[in-house]
Copies of this chain bind each other. A is one copy, B any other.
């Protein structure tokens, strides 16, 4: 269906105008300038001509078929015009007009109405409040957009939630002479969605790399699913903006509190294999490399330079980005020694010296291309007066053109004087970069894509010892009782149903029952207050640990029942378990259609003060659970430092995968914290000492 949007046979502009400073004029002018390969039908209530084209009072008056229509009339008129379009058989309407959801109030209602019309009539809607699309395909040449950015045909397709950001990126790609395949900015996106477009471009053979700017994801699951599939075929570069000052959504869990505004999108990017950027320029520079060069097989970079300083900068950058600068093989070093000046440095980074000419650069490039230790080449070339620079460019590009490793050329020069040198690169299709930082970052991005794309696929483990029905029935029961938090006893049973252990415990309401429970469980015990109103129990004095006798229990109970009299709590008496001192925290939070984001961290100050946590998407495979555990900065503590035994990491990972399965199986779990989880040395499973599970109430 998106063919009608991106490859329209004919375009109507409803609200076309002869006044130059209007959108209705500009769209037609842009279609003219791009030499759109099809008829354009201006629609205007009175004019008989718009520019050189006959105009029609209504879309229904157009005698021929219309595939795509721009709507640029006032917001209140849009519903009727849209119906007219549907009646005429228009396939897609680009509603450029603003004044919908984004202005609130009436705008929301009008947007709802056009969505309804779309559903009723089958016409697809792009926008509203949007720029439009472009397609440089020579068979199409559709500039269905009112922006000012110019295009060079090529292989980058760009999707921007913000039209402004789209313009900035597109404009920079033009300056970089990086060719565009298609462009889309769909504003309020009431119908045609970002994932739908990514999927379409995934199937477009001429799109080699997809760029995507995102402010928010209305349907994160759809994006995730599509991006994951497409990124296997071609790189997707993503940028999420709006990381700071995000609307603070009330959360009641540690997990929710520890997530930042961009945690979910960044997690989706990573899990879907999307290379994430925080800077438009960096994304453009990387797009250039992706559109022209092969992807490296691994992260081992060979550096060639003719001057020390920029070589050092390139080294800093690639190492900080997680690449390696490996040793060269002996063969390589030998051949470099033969080919280069005696003072040249033949280890990595290779310094060919400032006086190096075409032969030296050719030899060094060839040697690194042939070296099995090297996956990619960063070639620094500062253009001295006393060197045949065009010759260097000629030799290097001749090798780069057919190479199966990417060669990133960093050509540091005065562009007027050395224009021919730069032209040699550009005519060979080899991108050049002005700074070692920029080139190194572009290469690091390609390497990151390679690493993401090469990760093995691994299904989450299947468990045959779990009892999902039990959990469902507890959730149902909690809901029926009108509660949003699962009572402690039940929460422990939910965990148990998925093989997650907790200390023995009983919920009690008075001291006598508490004493009886303690007898059954056996001292030492813990006493905890139980009330939806008390969130941080420890802080509030609602937890007494290591109670060793009836007397101590009586004292603790007395104190708590005084302190919390106002909330009329119940109590929990539980077995007092001590791990080996290394507590962790595990959590989950529902993120719309995506499902649950899982969180893992070391307990106590590590989470509260240092926010040393990692995230993953439920359900987790074993290796993703391992990654989450290994990724926290405090991981060595779990491995054991200074002679301390490691905790049982296998069993901990088991708990993480089981918990992720529990929430994945039960989408109505809104938030879940296990805090703390006590860990033990080899052979003993961790136990969840405290659990807090919030379920979606029918209203929420």
Q: Does A673 contact B (CB under 8 A)?
A: no
Contact with B along A154-175 (1 / 0, CB 8 A): 0000001111111110011011
How far is A292 from B481 in the complex, measured between Cα atoms in Å?
A: 68
Contacts of A413 in B (CB 8 A): 148, 171
Contact with B along A163-194 (1 / 0, CB 8 A): 11111100110110000000000000000000
The interface stretch among A369-377, A433-441, A686-694 is: A433-441
How far is A605 from B165 in the complex, measured between Cα atoms in Å?
A: 44
Contacts of A245 in B (CB 8 A): 315, 319, 325
The interface stretch among A263-271, A379-387, A445-453, A554-562 is: A379-387
Contact with B along A236-255 (1 / 0, CB 8 A): 00000111110000000000
Contact with B along A315-327 (1 / 0, CB 8 A): 1100110000100
Taking the nearest CB of chain B, how far is it from the CB of A284, in angstroms?
Answer: 9
Given A279-B437, A417-B148, A608-B641, do A163 and B307 touch, yes or no (CB 8 Å)? yes
Q: Does A61 contact B (CB under 8 A)?
A: no
Taking the nearest CB of chain B, how far is it from the CB of A323, in angstroms?
Answer: 11
Which listed residue, B146, B164, B386, B434, touches A26 by the CB 8 Å rule? B386
Contact indicator A241/B641 (Cβ below 8 Å): no
Contacts of A310 in B (CB 8 A): 162, 164-165, 168
How far is A387 from B148 in the complex, measured between Cα atoms in Å?
A: 12
This chain: copies in complex: 2
Q: Does A232 contact B (CB under 8 A)?
A: no
Contact indicator A414/B637 (Cβ below 8 Å): no
Contacts of A168 in B (CB 8 A): 310, 382, 412, 434-436
Q: Which residue of B lies closest to A325 (CB)?
A: B245
Contact indicator B309/A244 (Cβ below 8 Å): no
Contact indicator B637/A386 (Cβ below 8 Å): no
Q: Does A567 contact B (CB under 8 A)?
A: no
Contacts of A699 in B (CB 8 A): none
Given A162-B309, A309-B163, do A385 and B148 touch, yes or no (CB 8 Å)? yes
Contact indicator B162/A243 (Cβ below 8 Å): no
Contact with B along A290-334 (1 / 0, CB 8 A): 000000000000000001111011011001100001000000000
Taking the nearest CB of chain B, how far is it from the CB of A141, in angstroms?
Answer: 19
Which A residues, 416 to 446, have Cβ-Cβ distances below 8 Å to chain B? 417-418, 434-438
Q: Does A103 contact B (CB under 8 A)?
A: yes
How far is A26 from B387 in the complex, measured between Cα atoms in Å?
A: 13
Contact indicator A412/B609 (Cβ below 8 Å): no
Contacts of A172 in B (CB 8 A): 434-435
Contacts of A279 in B (CB 8 A): 435, 437
Q: Does A137 contact B (CB under 8 A)?
A: no
How far is A160 from B313 in the complex, measured between Cα atoms in Å?
A: 13
Q: Does A65 contact B (CB under 8 A)?
A: no
Which listed residue, B23, B312, B539, touches A642 by the CB 8 Å rule? B539
Contacts of A163 in B (CB 8 A): 307, 309
Q: Which residue of B lies closest to A165 (CB)?
A: B309
How far is A151 from B263 in the complex, measured between Cα atoms in Å?
A: 46
Which A residues, 274 to 300, have Cβ-Cβ distances below 8 Å to chain B? 279-281
Contact indicator A414/B148 (Cβ below 8 Å): yes
Contacts of A205 in B (CB 8 A): none
Given A171-B413, A241-B316, A310-B162, do A435 and B538 touch, yes or no (CB 8 Å)? no
Contact indicator A244/B319 (Cβ below 8 Å): yes
Q: Does A634 contact B (CB under 8 A)?
A: yes
Contacts of A281 in B (CB 8 A): 434-435, 437-438
A-B contact pairs, 20 of them (CB 8 A): A21-B385, A21-B387, A22-B386, A148-B417, A149-B414, A160-B309, A162-B312, A164-B308, A164-B309, A166-B309, A241-B312, A243-B320, A244-B315, A244-B316, A244-B320, A245-B319, A280-B437, A281-B438, A539-B642, A608-B642
Nearest 4 Cβ contacts at the A-B interface: A162-B309, A164-B307, A165-B309, A21-B386
Beyond the given pairs A161-B309, A175-B415, A609-B634, 13 more chain A to chain B contacts, judged by CB atoms under 8 angstroms and listed by A's residue number, are A21-B387, A26-B386, A149-B414, A160-B309, A162-B309, A162-B312, A164-B308, A165-B313, A166-B309, A242-B312, A242-B316, A245-B325, A608-B641
